[in-house]
Amino acid sequence: MYKFFYIAIILYVFSAPVYAQTPDNPFGNRDDADTSNSYSPPSVFVTKINLEPQKDNEKLDGKFTIWNSEKQVISGLLYRIDFLDPLPQTDQNSGDIQDTAAIYDRYVSNEPFYLIPNERKEISFSYDLPNVPSGKYRIEITATNSLGRDMGWWDADVQITDKNISFLRIITGPVHLPEFPDRDIPSQAGPNVNPKSSFSVNIKAVNDGKNAIKALPIMDLYEFDVARGKLSTIKGNEFSLNSQKTKDISFPVTASEKPAVYYGILYLTDPVSGKVISNLTEYRWVVRGIHAEIISQRVNTFVTKKGEKMDLRVDMVGPADAETKVKTKLTVQILDQGGLVGETTVGGLELSDAVLSGNGLIELKRDLQDKAIISLTLNNEKNGSELDQIQMSLEGYENIKKTTVMNKKNLLYSGIVMILVAIAVSIALSKRTKTSKRHPKIDKNNKIVI
């Protein structure tokens, strides 16, 4: 028991295969997790997409409905639009949708919004269609946030007509690490690499067309997800591919110096026009070393008067390499337009790739005013360096009298920010292996059937 927080360590259950530590394993200490303590994302769903009639192959306009079925305000929300091949068939036995369809484009909105409990919000969008050949496709709209933590989604069919362009199909290949020369590592398994080390990712390019095509491989690099913004672009070597031929391509990558989870999108462009002329392929890796994030912060009980206590929960995770541990100090402040309203600090928090969760109360030293926020700062206890800093607006709470105090079971299924561990394996594959449960079924009483 700590002065402020009740601390519990909760392991995230991988949606991908997990790996025990062995001499020939590049995945650290990742092993089987206890499924009874697994996290699920907040129940925020995209429930409907209405598309306006397409006027051309350039732009797609429409509206979608997003629903917060939680008993808490969910803030910092964004939405992502993916342009993909048609949805594969659902497994009749498990109900899973093994969504391995090719991706052609990925767009993330840039204006965060919030939803109060049980609020439905209709959002209009105008989307620039990618440069793809004629055929049947779909858009997928996903509720997410600025950290790239996905929630619910919905799909709608799209048709591209009368568009005959030069286009290559690329097939995702493995990651190759020099220290494991004979091992093909799955593209999104998230192997550990050393800072500034070199490795390669691999694709197979296929020309199904009638003419030879010149192409330039490009990789856009992100920390964890596209929602966090592009870090850099890496260019490969130009090549030419004849009609009905294939080509294996090894694309060299140099790891960043900063420890974190990295996400690369690899695609092909026309060397002259710069237009994208292929689908996208995805890769993930983890740079070893000290790294930590605040992955969730939520208000269980919201108060406004001097002497009352704000009930908070904070979830943190340490280095994603499953090899490194770091002792940290967490500072939590409640601020408004008048300055500091309440504060506490907790030290001695050892973080690894397991989630460390803390519940606690912060007493208000005066009445809460407008423009209130909660500020959380995570520091390395050894040298004082800042590992992460997040500010959460309390906008929206004035629209409800008081949030419900959540019991332990409900806490696992709700949050201000989506509760997923920043481990490459789990996040990477959970995004592409989807289940029909994230498309909500609604009963006659307007309740979600999970």
Structure tokens belonging to residue 229 = 């913004």
Beta strands per DSSP E along 210-352: 213-223, 230-235, 239-241, 246-254, 260-269, 281-287, 293-301, 309-317, 326-336, 339-351
Structure tokens belonging to residue 191 = 């192997």
Instruction: Give the CA angle between residues 176, 179, 180 to the nearest 5°.
Output: 55
The C-alpha atoms of residue 127 and residue 129 are separated, in whole angstroms, by 6
Region 116-133 average pLDDT: 94
338-358 pLDDT, tens digit per residue, is 999 999 999 999 999 888 888
The C-alpha atoms of residue 424 and residue 148 are separated, in whole angstroms, by 12
The C-alpha atoms of residue 348 and residue 330 are separated, in whole angstroms, by 9
Q: What is the pLDDT of residue 70?
A: 85
Share of residues in the chain with pLDDT > 90 (%): 62
Check if the beta carbon of residue 111 is closer than 8 Å to that of residue 380.
no
Q: Can you say whether the dihedral through the CA atoms of 253, 255, 256, 259 is positive or negative?
A: positive
Q: What is the pLDDT of residue 91?
A: 62
Task: For the chain, give the mean pLDDT.
Answer: 82
207-217 pLDDT, tens digit per residue, is 999 999 999 99
Helices (H), 156-262: none
Domains of the chain: 6-32+291-421 (2.60.40.10), 44-160 (2.60.40.10), 169-287 (2.60.40.10)
264-279 pLDDT, tens digit per residue, is 999 999 999 999 999 9
The C-alpha atoms of residue 196 and residue 424 are separated, in whole angstroms, by 18
Grouping H, G, I as helix, E, B as strand and the rest as coil, residue 217 is strand
Residue 13 has pLDDT above 90, yes or no: no
Q: How confident is the model at residue 146 (pLDDT cuts 50, 70, 90)?
A: confident
409-428 pLDDT, tens digit per residue, is 232 222 322 233 333 333 33
Structure tokens belonging to residue 251 = 């694309």
Region 194-202 average pLDDT: 97
